[in-house]
Amino acid sequence: MAAKRTALFIIDIQNDLASDPETRIPHAARLLDSAEKVLASTRKQLDTLRQTQNRSRPLLVFVQHSEDPSSGPLVKGTKPWELVFHPRPDDADEILVGKTTRDTFESNPDLADRLKENGVTSIVALGAQSECCVLSTCKGALAAGFEVTLLQGAHSTYDIGAKTAPEIEKEVEAELERAGAKIVPWEDVIVD
């Protein structure tokens, strides 16, 4: 039987949403801090397991959204579109996946099969925007048969109308929990 692997999805942490002082989400500093720590811990775990030839090592999936200039600023090749965190070059356990819809699996119809062929059975997600691409990608992963964990405190969005970003985050977490996902504080996945 193939080793079971977990894929860490780092969703749309791009300059426009996370770095640019003019356009970033209100809680970008929290998102960047938590994502950086989860990424560092996962890479440490990956490197340790790779040394022992352990086939259950994690897979890192960096998701990058692209849109038409008429739809928004995340236009392929522009500064706003660039990722804050990048896959390490020539590392088969770190991949870049582009998308043009909110659901990474919808944009990449062969992705679920590719992940399953590599032993992935569960997905852990973080990123931006909570009610858009994070929610849709988590739902897509559930529909594709993966176990899904959303990292609380490691996803966020803009305030929308009278709702604050933290209120929206909680609504997304509740919706995903009802759909069968686990909600876990990001600190709980840090491995020393």
Residue 73 tokens, joined: 């600023």
Specify the pLDDT at position 55: 79
Please list the residues that pair with 7 across neighbouring strands: 59, 123
d(CA 14, CA 25): 11
How many structural domains are present in the chain? Answer: 1
* Residue spans of beta strands (DSSP E) within 25-119: 59-65, 94-99
Following DSSP, what letter does each residue of 51-76 receive, concatenated?
Answer: HTT-TT--EEEEEEE---TTT-S--T
Cis peptide leading into residue 129 (ω within 30°) = yes
Let me know: does 91 contact 118? Beta carbons within 8 Å. no
Specify the pLDDT at position 185: 98
Query: 151 by DSSP, 3-state: which?
Result: strand
d(CA 38, CA 60): 11
Q: Which residue has the tokens 């890192």?
A: 60
Specify the pLDDT at position 52: 84
If the chain, 192 residues long, is cut into consecutive pieces of 10 residues, what is the mean pLDDT of each piece?
86 97 96 98 93 88 97 96 97 96 98 96 98 98 98 98 97 98 97 78
Distances from the Cα of 142 to the Cαs of 116, 160, 182, in angstroms?
13, 26, 11
Identity of residue 89? P
pTM of structure: 0.96
| Structural domain range at position 174 | 5-189
CATH of the domain at 59: 3.40.50.850
